[in-house]
Amino acid sequence: MTDQNAPKKTNEKKNISRRDFLKITSTATAGAASAIVPKISFPAFLRQTKMELNFLTWFWTETGRNDAWRAMIQKFHDSQSDIHLNETGYGENNYFTQILIQAKSGRIDADLYTATPDVFLRLLADGHTIPLEDVVAQAGVTPVAAQDMLRKDGELHGLDIVTVRFGNLYNKALFDAAGLGEPTSIDEWVAGAQSLTQRPNQFGFFSPHIAAEPFTVWFILQQWAVLYDGVWAQGKTPLLTSDPVINAIKLFKTMYDTTMPQGTDFGTANQMFASSRIAQHLVVSPAVNQWKSLATDTELYDNLRSAQPFWPGGKAISRIHPVCVNANTDPEKQAAAKEFLAWLYTKENYQELLERCLDVVPAIEDGIRPEYHDSLKWVSGYDAATAITVPEVLGDFVLYNDELGQIVTPHLQEVLAGSKSAEDAMTEAQTEAEELAGRVFTS
Amino acid sequence: MSNQQAIATTASSPGILLLRWIRRIPLYVLVLLFCIITAFPIYWMVVSVIQPVEYSLNYPPPLYPLAVDLSPFREIFQAENNLGRIDYWIGNSIVLSSMTTLICLFLTVLGAYALAGKRWRGQGLFGLLLLMTQMLPEALIVIPLYATLDKLNLKNNLFVLALVDTAFILPICIWILKNVFDTIPNEMRDAAMVDGCTRMGVLWRIMLPISTPGLVAVGVVAFFHAWNEYLFAASLISNKEIYTAPVGLAAMISMVDTPIDRLMAGGLLFSIFPLIFYLLVQRYVVAGLTAGAVKG
Amino acid sequence: MGVQASVNAQFIKPAQNRQRDWLPYMLALPIIIYEGIFILIPIIQQFGSSFTSDIIGFGAAKGVGLANYERMLNDKFFWNSLRVTLGFMAATVIVAVGAGVLAAVLMNQRFRGRSIARAVMTLPWAFPDLPTVLVFYWILNPSFGIANVFIRFFMPWLTENPKWLLDINLAMPLVVAIASWKAFPFYGLVTLSVMQSIPQELYEAAKVDGANTRQAFRYITLPALLPIIMLSGILACIFAFRQFVLIFLATGGGPGRVTETLVISLYKTAFRSFDFSYGATIGVSGFVVVFVITLLFVYLQHRQEAEAAR
């Protein structure tokens, strides 16, 4: 008996909160509320109680970035008393699984959430985002052109809050101790990394390669083909047997065999970098903030440098990570979320966020203060690289980023394990990728 | 022939004793080997936690801790502002596992009583249905179940999670208890019914008291299952306040920068409870799984 | 026990002739409803989903008939994961149940410190999954793991550390070993319990007849254990089929795809590639295959029981 009553009670509760909201808006029935999204922003005086917003992101578990965001949100809470943000989320390797279970069940369980470029495109297509043009207008800023990939029908559906770019980040103290300068070619890079390797105490290089970290492995591997000025696919054609890709796999194998702490996870490798036992990573710029926070050695941060691009073409993948407002949450909450974003996206606050996160690629015009930029010793290599976007590197496969990754990374593991040559493995991968293309691009 | 016999008899007590000892050596070696294999990983986890992380990251790693540094424990309790508090997670897991154990015990008794004893039409089908539900991979269920519970606003609820966990461990628990019930001689039940007991009375007054160790075994199985369960907990619990220990620990693992000593510290704290719990009830578990506990 | 067989017979016979007995149904019903809500209805939903195209980012689900099944039959990864699953199941059944029976035999002996040894030998059962993977991953780290020290002690001619979980040939045996390490105590305890229920008189009688220990084991212990070994086999099969956390965190299905079981493949398809309908197809098909295997086991077990009863 009590079982039958239980669901009713919860329904009533839901109806009451909805009814309150309907009094004000009188726009949609409870059922349609999730489908129709009125663009109304509510004056603060209409809200009686504090508006609680859930902010779903992996930032809370990212060392350095979490502190930066908490500081900004604290500042926001201090600046007004109507809106309060709560942290929800998961670590990066689990985040997308969870957000997709939620999206699949019809609704992401948050008011604000962050995404990677490829996940964003999927969520955008399935209507989990709302236009945020009014936020940009209210903040009075101009988004940089790179944000255009977040547009649908000309309107921004997400606001970039961190652009990451690849570069070769190294520990200058270790380079100096070995009498090494920055590499000027890939061959020099390999030779340098090898000379820095004294197993098992010191390793010349690290790149994630274990299968338990699938996102990270594929995400970083993408840059390796760019080292030979190549791409993984063009339009609907996979290019896995092209010279740059084959060379990239071979290069990875050489570095793996001769310079890396094999079988080590990213977390432990970060720890080793922070204690000066790994000399360099091919990695995105936010790693700097993690190492800065992790390092017990206060000098480490001063010794971080990003190498001038030594590879042909000098391109580096730039990845945009947008924050979005959930289309399937109460319009009142959407309005509050927009209010927060408009506050965050004003030039001063954005600059502060960028600096606290130790980021270097601004998402808005004048988003980075020159004094801050010039104070960073490690930024010149990241700056010198030519940006290339994920769609440029993956072609139409950008929508099938993970599928392509699931084809490439197992074959990479085979090559690393020495059971197949790079050519054979990539020939198989190419066939599999063509099958994928045949399946997904026909309809 | 007679010569050998003579030797055997004259050597009598010390010789035979020695011989017996020698013949038992393989037994001791095997037992020791098993114990090393089962205990070493747990020992290694302890070593990796209590020695400073630099030692763990050396090769070869020392076989026993050369120095002791308990700061990882302090650090994971301080990691509060990142992920939530590990003592809360463990508390939540205890609540969840206890609820699962209770719900599971109740339903198990019903199911086992239905399966034990006289045959009824559909009994085989019922058994098969239970077996089938036991075989479904959780990953197959998680999406539709999430969608339903989301609509009913029943996420972030440890009781609901306990109900879900029970569903996945119930069949095997019923199977264990059915085997225990089966060993209770029919004569005993019948005698009780002649004495005027109803059949539920037989269950309550005769079957359950005799099967206490079996109930303990079922409880332990259910407890461990809920303590371990990750997939449902991870998708149904998003509120950090009610993270269960596996969800919290997995969040620590998936942070790209959690040092190994802190991970091990979390893993160790997460393991201590079931280990202690198991050592306490271990005696009963063997007896409980002992279908012949009541023979005679 | 003081129960007369005559009373027994008098009591039971008329009861069977009476109208249908509803009690078992009343007892079973709540469980059927319970399992129905939490498992059967969702699985039916998933089964329906396997006839659609339901991919995040491509709009609402569309019916596609048998297209997913057609794709699956031509999908070499599906066949690979089926092979891997069956291999993993077979290997874990043999290793875990085998080690369990051996452990039970040992635990059943009388020796000094038996109760401590029994507790220690069954400890992994109480050790949760996540810490298990964590610590094994660490032990087996090719650069710093303690396993390198051991292997080099026993095989001093090795020039470099094995790659352990990253090695194509070692990954599967290691995953089986880890899963068995975790699982064997349960089968050991179950077997031990049956062993202890074998009446001691049987052994004494055998001794009188001149049987040695080995013969007693062969003709008394083993036949008594066969049913429980079969049941342990079924359970080990089921648990191996469902095994997720250990494999996923230890190898993620790699290196290559040598440890990619159906459940791992289902998980990757549904939760990494966002293709829920095809994930459901893999899951449903895998389930059917394993169900058939288990039925076979159950059938064998029944036949064996019937034979034993004769």
What residue spans define the domains of chain A? Answer: 46-163+320-373, 165-318+383-440
Chain mean pLDDT for chain B: 82
Kindly state whether residues B50 and B152 are assigned to the same domain: no
How many Cβ atoms sit within 10 Å of the Cβ of residue C14? Answer: 8
Q: What is the pLDDT of residue A167?
A: 93
- Is A262 close to C257, i.e. CB distance below 8 A? no
Does any CB of chain A come closer than 8 Å to the CB of residue C170?
A: no
Cβ atoms of residues A321 and A164 within 8 Å: yes
Q: What separation in angstroms does the CA of A231 have from each of A165, A275, C24?
A: 16, 34, 66
Q: In this predicted structure, which of A93-97, A150-154, A182-186, A382-386 has the lowest mean pLDDT?
A: A93-97
What total of structural domains would you count in chain C?
1
Give yes or no: residues B165 and B47 share one domain: no
pLDDT at B295 over 80: no
3 state DSSP class of C62: strand
| Per-residue confidence (pLDDT) for residue C20, from 0 to 100 | 66
Put simply, the answer to whether B256 touches A60 (Cβ < 8 Å) is: no
Q: List all residues 6 or more positions away from C104 whose beta carbon is below 8 Å from its beta carbon.
A: C187, C188, C189, C191, C192, C195
Q: Phi first, then psi: what are they for A54, rounded to 5°?
A: -95, 125
Q: A414 with C168: CB under 8 angstroms? A: yes
Which chains form contacts with chain A, at 3 or more CB pairs under 8 Å? B, C
Q: Where are the alpha helices (DSSP H) in B195-294?
A: 199-202, 208-210, 212-228, 231-236, 245-254, 260-289
Q: Is residue C251 part of a domain?
A: yes
DSSP 8-state secondary structure symbol assigned to residue A325: E
Confidence of residue B2 (pLDDT cuts 50, 70, 90): very low
Which pLDDT score is estimated for C192?
86
What is the structure's pLDDT at B229?
92
Cβ contact, residue pair C253, A417, below 8 Å? no
**Is pLDDT of A302 > 60?**
yes
Does a structural domain hold residue B61? no
Confidence bin at B212 (pLDDT 50/70/90): confident
C74, C137, C143, best to mutate vs chain A, most A CBs in 10 Å = C143
DSSP-derived secondary structure letter, C219: I
Which pLDDT belongs to residue A15? 40
The sign of the CA dihedral B199, B203, B205, B206 is positive
Q: Please indicate, yes or no, whether residues B42 and B156 belong to a single structural domain of this protein.
A: no
Q: Look-up: residue for tokens 């007849």? A: C209
Q: What is the pLDDT of residue C19?
A: 59
Percent of chain B residues past pLDDT 90, beyond the cut: 22
Residue B7: per-residue pLDDT: 45
Residue C71 is assigned to a structural domain of this protein: no
φ and ψ at C195, to 5 degrees?
-55, -40
Given a cut of 70, is residue A30 above it in pLDDT? Answer: no
Residue B102: closest CA among B274, B226, B283? B226
Encoding tokens for residue A401?
């980023």
pLDDT of A321 above 50: yes
- What CATH superfamily classification does A46-163+320-373 receive? Periplasmic binding protein-like II (3.40.190.10)
Structurally, chain B folds into a number of domains equal to 2
Cα dihedral C62, C66, C69, C71, rounded to 10, equals -70
Query: How many angstroms away from the CA of B219 is the closest CA of chain A?
Result: 25
Give me the percent of chain A exceeding a pLDDT of 70: 88
Res. A91 pLDDT band, cuts 50 70 90: confident
pLDDT grade for A100, boundaries at 50, 70 and 90: confident
As a whole number, the mean pLDDT across chain A is 85
Weakest-pLDDT range from A190-194, B11-15, C1-5, C66-70: C1-5
Which residues numbered 24-43 in A keep a CB inside 8 Å of some CB on B? Answer: none
Determine which of A152, A262, A266, A277 to mutate to test the interface with C (most C C-beta atoms within 10 Å). Answer: A262
Same domain as B195, residue B114: yes
B64 in a structural domain: no
Q: Under a CB-based contact definition with an 8 Å cutoff, are residues B159 and B252 in contact? A: no
CATH code for position B223: 1.10.3720.10
Sign of CA dihedral A173, A175, A181, A187: negative
Structure token digits, residue A205 = 């290089």
Has residue B69 been placed in a domain? no
A157 neighbors A130 (Cβ within 8 angstroms): yes
Identical fold, A46-163+320-373 and A165-318+383-440 = yes
**Distance from B263 to chain C by nearest Cα, in Å?**
8
Q: How confident is the model at residue B226 (pLDDT cuts 50, 70, 90)?
A: very high
B18 and B122 assigned to the same domain? no
Q: Which domain holds residue C182?
A: 77-309
- Residue A370: the pLDDT is 93
On whether residue B63 sits in a domain, the answer given is no
Measured CA distances, B20 to B129, C53, C115 (Å): 51, 70, 21
Query: ipTM surpassing 0.90, yes or no?
Result: no
What pLDDT, on the 0 to 100 scale, is given for residue B8? 45
CATH class of A165-318+383-440: alpha beta
- Cβ distance B251 to A98 less than 8 Å, yes or no, reads no
- Whether residue C16 lies inside any domain: the answer is no
Q: For residues C108 and A320, give the distance between their C-alpha atoms in angstroms, rounded to a whole number.
A: 63
Range of the domain at B44: 2-56
Average pLDDT of the residues in B185-194: 77
Q: Is the pLDDT of residue B35 over 50?
A: yes
Per-residue model confidence (pLDDT) at position B240: 76
For A272, other C-beta atoms within 10 Å of its C-beta total 21
Is A270 in contact with B256 (Cβ distance < 8 A)?
yes
CB contact under 8 A, A290 and B256: yes
Closest residue on chain A to B144 (Cα)? A105
pLDDT higher than threshold 50 for residue A343 = yes
Residue B54's pLDDT is what?
78
What mean pLDDT is predicted for residues A293-299? 76
Residue at A384: amino acid letter: A
In a domain, residue C36? The reply is no
Q: How far is residue A325 CA from its own chain's centroid?
A: 17
pLDDT tens for A276-288 read: 899 999 999 888 8
**Structural element, H or E, at residue A294:** helix A287-294
- The per-residue pLDDT for B161 is 95
Residues whose CB is less than 8 angstroms from the CB of residue B39 and which lie 6 or more positions away in sequence, other chains included: C120, C123
Instruction: Give the pLDDT score at B255.
Output: 67
Tell me the DSSP string of A226-276: HTTT--SEETTEE-TTSHHHHHHHHHHHHHHHHHS-TT--HHHHHHHHHTT
The reply to whether omega before A410 is within 30° of 0 (cis) is no
- Choose among B136, B140, B108: nearest CA to B223: B108
Least confident of A28-37, A237-246, C16-25: A28-37
| CATH at C298 | 1.10.3720.10
Q: What is the pLDDT along chain C (310 residues), one digit of tens a residue?
A: 333 333 343 344 444 445 567 888 888 899 999 999 998 888 888 888 889 887 777 777 788 888 889 899 989 999 999 999 999 999 999 999 999 999 998 988 888 888 888 889 989 999 999 999 989 998 998 888 899 889 888 988 888 888 899 999 999 999 999 999 999 999 998 888 888 777 788 888 888 888 887 888 888 888 888 878 888 888 888 889 989 989 988 888 878 899 999 999 988 888 888 788 898 899 888 888 878 887 887 787 777 767 766 6
* Lowest-pLDDT choice from A12-26, A131-145, A147-161, C242-256: A12-26
Q: Are residues B94 and B200 in the same domain?
A: yes
Judge whether A255 and A209 are in contact, CB under 8 Å: no
Q: How far is CA C235 from CA B109, B163, B291, C6, C254, in A?
A: 20, 22, 17, 39, 25
pLDDT reported for residue C261: 93
In the predicted structure, residue A234 carries a pLDDT above the cut 70: yes
Query: What was the pLDDT predicted at A275?
Result: 82
Chain A residue with CA closest to C271: the answer is A97
Supply the pLDDT for residue A16. 39
Digit-coded pLDDT (tens) for A385-437: 999 989 899 999 988 888 899 999 999 999 999 889 999 999 999 999 999 99
Q: Does the pLDDT value for residue B294 go beyond 90?
A: no
